[in-house]
Amino acid sequence: MKHKLIEGDLLVRDASFAIVVSRWNELITRRLLEGALETFRRHGGSEENITVLWVPGSFELPLVADRLAKSGKYKAVCCLGAVIQGSTMHHDYINHQVAAGIMRCSQESGVPVLFGVLTCETMEQAMDRAGGKVGNKGGEAALAAIEMVNLLQSIDQSQA
């Protein structure tokens, strides 16, 4: 028996995307944003179809992402942030809640909401993931957003 394969490609087709960026650790998050914007451009996206919003910190990402996802204006929302471990357990509380909030937002809205939040032990690790040795996780979140938008459209078309 031959199975049916449904995949999302990596081309932006006149879709609107939102990127929500944490101002906390802006040295890192600005690089994540640059990676995301470059990825959208490389895959056919237009600057006019991308809205960037800044929030105070990563903890605020899910609320704004939820509002955007439910607005009906965007095909996907990318959340970009950087939580770097300090000398307390503060990062654990933030990371768990941000991840859960972003997932809940995506599930409740039906709109892909991507987790581009670095959860690193050191600033060096964060730099490596924001355009350094390990690539740019902001660009990876944008690429996942493009693929998910196209995958969901393919699913809808296959059921029509």
* Catalytic-role residue among 3, 90, 91, 96: 90
54 is in an annotated binding site: no
Q: For each of the domains in the chain, give its residue range(s) and CATH number, in order of start.
A: 36-51+63-146 (3.40.50.960)
**Considering the entire predicted model, what is its pTM?**
0.94
121 is in an annotated binding site: no
Q: Please report the pLDDT score of residue 97 as a whole number.
A: 96
Told to judge if 90 belongs to the known catalytic residues of this protein, a careful annotator would answer yes
What type of residue sits at position 65? A
24 is in an annotated binding site: yes
Residue spans of the chain under pLDDT 50: none
Q: Please report the pLDDT score of residue 70 as a whole number.
A: 98
Q: Please report the pLDDT score of residue 1 as a whole number.
A: 67
Tokens of 153: 């459209």
Angle (nearest 5°) at CA 31 between 101 and 47? 85
- CA proximity to 52, closest of 44, 43, 42, 35: 35
